[in-house]
Structure 1
Amino acid sequence: MLKFAANLTFLFREAPFLERFARARQCGFRYVEFHNPYPFCEDIDAISDAKDAQGVEIVHFNLPGGDWAAGERGIAGWPDRCETFRTGVSETVATARTLGCRQLNCPVGYLRDDFSPGEQHRCLVENLRWAAEHAAEAGITLLVEPLNPVTHPGYALTTTAQARALLAQVNHPNLKIQYDFFQMQRAEGDLIETVRANLAYVGFIQLADSPGRHEPGTGEVNYRFLLEALANLDFEGYVSLEYQPSGQTEASLEWMKAYGVRP
């Protein structure tokens, strides 16, 4: 049976962040994730209390991605931000341990013009190898996520094949792929065959329909087939609902009942 998580950055935005844990639990979710705790609440103990009060598990969030408001989406490949990146990894691993979270995604970031692609790639590989080892010491799995080049032009990682190649170059057993159905539908399509061929390297899955990034059933992806096939593959990781509800969040969850799945 697939294990579904609610992404609290996208879902239940009708409520303040700390109240979203209760909203998710009321809808039946035992697992939650979010992009990053700090923009919502700097008091990590308050987040820990909120999840404990509802009996839910935080299964995933991101490493710092730089100045998000300025459009940065990761600094792991930037040679002049290496120290900042590694400090952020150490701090976030400590936060993850406090929150009981066992998976962290590393946004790899956009390519810059002031360093060569080779310089940035070498920096990325070295930083990921360091971060994977540091996370492993805390019992936390590190992930990297390809983002589609349509909505993220210039991003350093855009396909599953590139992610596989990156894993091979980093060559650390604690690094896996975060596979986002929405992102990869926009980037390459052929979703279930790609997942089937790469399942051993996939640690976490996110979903949203394409192209609007709303709930399943609002776009072009056949999620009824896709989720049935994924269940038949015995995927043991989490499948997160990282979509923008087309209306009120609870109403947007009706697709789960219609597709015969539950939180």
Structure 2
Amino acid sequence: MKLSANLGFLWNDRPLPDAIRAAAAAGFDAVECHWPYDVPASEVKSALDDTGLRMLGLNTRRGDLSVPENGLSALPGRETDARAAIDEALSYAQAIGAGAVHVMAGFASGADAHAAFVANLAYACDQAAPLGVTILIEPLNRHDAPGYFLVTTDQAVDIIRRVDRPNLKLMFDCYHVGRTEGDVTTRLAALLGDIGHIQFASVPDRGTPDHGELNYPTVFAAIKALGWDVPLGAEYKPGGPTDPTLGWMAEAQKI
């Protein structure tokens, strides 16, 4: 399997350009991140150019962290803020050559939230299409993000159908799906045509993928059998320095 290091969790004890270089040294095929906005895009682009790695994607800003907020696009009445965050993310993605932007929904519920999310996603897709950027949406599990608007893959697919844009895809995080829905390999196969990116971590502790409820050699083999050849996102919490936690990589890369 090809692997991408999610630098929101891995090597997050150092500046993002240094984390990119660390991921390259460790043998990852690509990188991805959460919120890179405090780092000039030119510095990130330089690190990507130096290492030859691609930045697969990044997130829109969460909003006001003192509240806290966890995305803006499903918040009724916050369309101006949501679309500013989308514009910012697309601009940053274009500057560093990232192929996808995860548009975060936020803490919300109900019909008005659904309508706001659909409208903001349509805006995001229309702005992203000329740039060749994919828009991603990701269900988050109720244990880690109680109150988050987007919870299940069925809900995500319904929204994808309603928005009806070819560049809107599902971010399928095996960890979140494992905690909320289970039956991960069956859901991967059923949803393959809607998936734009796949991430993983152990269930339920979100640690390295070499323990827990999911047998990742089986999951990775199933993903390969589906013909997926894009790097999978290692989005796990190392619980300390990242390098000592990478023992799982060698076997995963053989699959």
8 Å CA contact retained: 1:206, 1:239: yes
- Which residue of 2 is the match for residue 261 of structure 1? 254
2:54 is aligned with 1:61: no
Superposed, 1:207-226 pairs within 5 Å as 207-226=200-219
**Structure 2: how far apart are the matches of 1:234 and 1:258?**
19
TM-superposed CA distance for 1:258, in Å, is 3.4
SS at match of 2:197: strand
Instruction: Report deviation, 1:21.
Output: 1.3
What is the CA-CA distance between 1:259 and the residue it aligns to?
Answer: 4.0
Deviation (angstroms), 1:16: 3.0
TM-superposed CA distance for 1:69, in Å, is 5.0
Q: Which residue is 2:26 aligned to? A: 27
Q: TM-score, normalised by structure 1?
A: 0.92
Q: Look up the match of 1:5.
A: 4
Q: C-alpha offsets along residues 16-38 of structure 1, whole Å, 9 cap, x if unaligned?
A: 33211111111112310110112
On the 8 A contact 1:148/1:158 being kept in 2, the answer is yes
Contact 2:3 2:253 in 1 (8 A): no
1:219-234 to 2 correspondences below 5 Å = 219-234=212-227
Give the secondary-structure state (helix, strand or coil) at the position aligned to 2:136: strand
In structure 1, C-alpha distance between the alignment counterparts of 2:182 and 2:143, rounded to whole Å: 13
Would you say the 8 A contact 2:125–2:134 is kept in 1? yes
Separation of aligned partners in 2, 1:237 and 1:68: 32
With over 3 angstroms needed to count, the CA separation of the structure-2 counterparts of 1:213 and 1:107, relative to structure 1, is same
CA–CA separation in structure 1 for the residues paired with 2:197 and 2:118: 20
Deviations 1:181-212 (A, max 9, x none): 11111101000000000000000011100111
Moved more, 3-12 or 61-70: 61-70
8 A contact 1:74–1:108 mirrored in 2: yes
Percent of aligned positions that are identical: 33
1:195 correspondence with 2:188: yes
The equivalent of 2:98 in structure 1 is: 101
Paired positions, count: 255
User: Which residue of 46, 67, 70 corresponds with 2:43?
Assistant: 46
Say which SS state the counterpart of residue 77 (structure 2) adopts.
Answer: helix
What stretches of structure 1 of length at least 5 have no aligned partner?
Answer: none
Shift of 1:173: 1.2
Q: Give the letter for the 2:50 counterpart.
A: A
Letter of the aligned partner of 1:103 in structure 2?
Answer: A
Of residues 226, 231, 237 in structure 2, which corresponds to 1:238?
231
**1:203–1:237 CA contact under 8 A, matched in 2:** no
State the shift of 1:122 in Å. 0.9
Q: In 2, Cα distance between the equivalents of 1:259 and 1:26?
A: 17
Matched, 1:15 2:8: no
Residue 111 of structure 2 corresponds to residue 118 of structure 1: yes
Checking the alignment, whether the CA contact within 8 Å between 2:138 and 2:150 is kept in structure 1 is yes
Which sections of structure 2, spanning at least 5 residues, go unmatched?
none
Two-structure CA RMSD over aligned residues (Å): 1.6
Counterpart code for 1:62: N
Q: Deviations over 1:222-242 (max 9, x none)?
A: 001000111011113331000
Provide Cα deviations, 1:73-129, integer angstroms capped at 9, x if missing partner: 1110112210111122122211111100111101111116xxxx1111111111111
Is 77-86 or 185-194 further displaced after alignment? 77-86
CA contact (8 A) 1:51 1:57 kept: yes
Using the alignment, how far apart are the partners of 1:197 and 1:125 within structure 2? 23
Counterpart code for 1:261: K
Q: Distance in 2 between matches of 1:68 and 1:109?
A: 12
Q: Distance in 2 between matches of 1:192 and 1:206?
A: 13
